[in-house]
Amino acid sequence: MNWVNELAAIVAVESTGVARAGHASDVSGHEAVWPDAVALPVSAGEVAAVLSWANDRRIAVTPWGAGSSVEGNPIPVKGGICLSLERMNRVKEIRLGDRLAVVEAGTKYRELNRQLAGSGWQFAVEIGGDATIGGMIANNAAGPKAVKYGSTKAHVLGLEVALADGRLIRTGGRAWKQSCGYNLTQLFAGSEGTLGVITEAIVKLTPAPAVREVVAARFGSVRAAVDCLGELRRLDAGAIEFLDRSYMEFLGEVVADTLFCEFHTAGHGEAAERICRAGGAESVERAGEELWRARLRAYTASQEANPGARLLTTDTAVPLGAFGEMVEFLQQELATRRLTGYLLGHAGDGNLHVILPWRSAAEWAAVEAFHGAAVRKSMELGGTASGEHGVGMGKREFLAAEHGEGAVAVMRMMKQMLDPRGVLNPGKVLPSQNVTYANGE
């Protein structure tokens, strides 16, 4: 790879096997692909320089945050450059009076919250992985707290973005209210690094809740649990999670269809207890941190319990009222197809995951077929193939079915316009791009 030396004149590059292997896969079951080289810029200028050069040379560039994505989003499927933002990890400004922080894209959200500890403020999105804020914006990650705070996209005031050809632009700004021109911020948010590389973000800060009341309610049926959701959603809920009986069994907890909720207003925990008891809960208790941590560790726990297996994770989100029907459908499908799957979800906003381990081609075919059935059912109910993991590699095939060919044609135009040579994160979001890259040379 002669071009790696050229690249090394622009930016710090690592091309050892260790470095390449460490940037070849995320936590999904998608196959690892090594990049030819890992670029480690320390500034937006260096990111821009790498892109300008790679665009000229037609070398594939896959942006990398922390590699904690769940849908293959940062896997460099065409090789080329892994553009890691890990050295751009400075919290540049914390402005409590303006309720915002300015961070480099490679800043971990937990690091920002560590710096905010004790201030009464937080970056309000909380997810399982130790992700970077740039990656969370690019994937529009969400997690359990989204029922109260919305997905990551709702927390972005402005961005600095390096375009495919190396131009640096700024979108949005520091005002909380903006209605001045096309919303480029929200175009790049959720575009998974296929339209540009986020180098810096202005993010909202949110008051940290002063109260935290946690309630676990166990039900004899999915339907009984789901029937409580409407009333629970009217409380000041910071999270309304659902864990099905088989997943609780897997965790070694009491086997029951379980709602696990967090409330941020004093007395709302008690109100939730009343709602769940009236709704026929078999037991209701103030649960501690333990079950919460177990919930956040769902993915790694599934991995640990199935050594050697890969995982496929479904990410459907349906209209709120259809959540129960979706859960029952998936439980039924798992049973009929005799598949092992851990079913858990963000009941508060209709988002449901099934984590399915697989080991062989035959098992892959089976979980893949289940996935297709889940997505079709979600769409039939008016839902989406992806609530929070993004399209990545595994949801591309559903894009047209969900949005229609018309909308996908517009998405293609966006891609064509912003990345005409197709160098940015190839093989993600949009199906079948026919580009030949020079990085094999």
Residues 202-261 that bind a copy of itself (CB under 8 A): 207, 230, 233-234
Q: Is 384 in the site for a copy of itself (CB under 8 A)?
A: yes
The Cα angle at residue 70 between residues 173 and 13, in degrees rounded to 5 = 70
Contact 438, 58 (CB under 8 A): yes
Return the number of the residue (36 or 315) whose C-beta is nearest a copy of itself: 315
**Which residue stretch of 111-119, 184-192, 217-225, 249-257 sits at the interface with a copy of itself (rule: CB under 8 A)?**
184-192
Structure tokens that stand for 243 in this block:
């864990």
Binding mask 42-61 for a copy of itself (x = CB under 8 A): --------------------
Q: Which is nearer to a copy of itself, 108 or 396 (CB)?
A: 396
Cα separation, 427 vs 163, whole angstroms: 18
Residue from 389, 423, 425, 427 binding a copy of itself (CB under 8 A)? 389
Check if the beta carbon of residue 224 is closer than 8 Å to that of residue 130.
no
Residues 291-310 that bind a copy of itself (CB under 8 A): none
Whole-number minimum distance, CB 172 to a copy of itself, in Å?
A: 9
Should residue 264 be labelled a site residue for a copy of itself when binding is judged by CB under 8 A?
no
> For residue 255, what are its two tokens?
């086997």
Determine the residue type at 387. Answer: G
- Give CA–CA dist 92/96, Å, rounded: 13
DSSP 3-state of 261: strand
Q: Is 431 in the site for a copy of itself (CB under 8 A)?
A: no
> Residue 1 class from Cβ within 10 Å (0-12 exposed, 13-18 middle, 19+ buried)?
middle
Examine residue 440 and tell whether it contacts a copy of itself (CB under 8 A).
no
Cα–Cα distance, 200 to 197 (Å, whole number): 9
Token duo for residue 92: 């540049």
Of 335 and 407, the one with the shorter C-beta distance to a copy of itself is 407
Both tokens assigned to 7? 């690249």
Shortest separation between residue 59's beta carbon and a copy of itself, angstroms: 23
Tell me the chain's radius of gyration from C-alpha atoms.
Answer: 22
**Should residue 175 be labelled a site residue for a copy of itself when binding is judged by CB under 8 A?**
yes
351 binds a copy of itself (CB under 8 A): yes
| 58, 87, 110, 174: residue in contact with a copy of itself (rule CB under 8 A) | 174
Contact between 401 and a copy of itself by CB under 8 A: the answer reads no
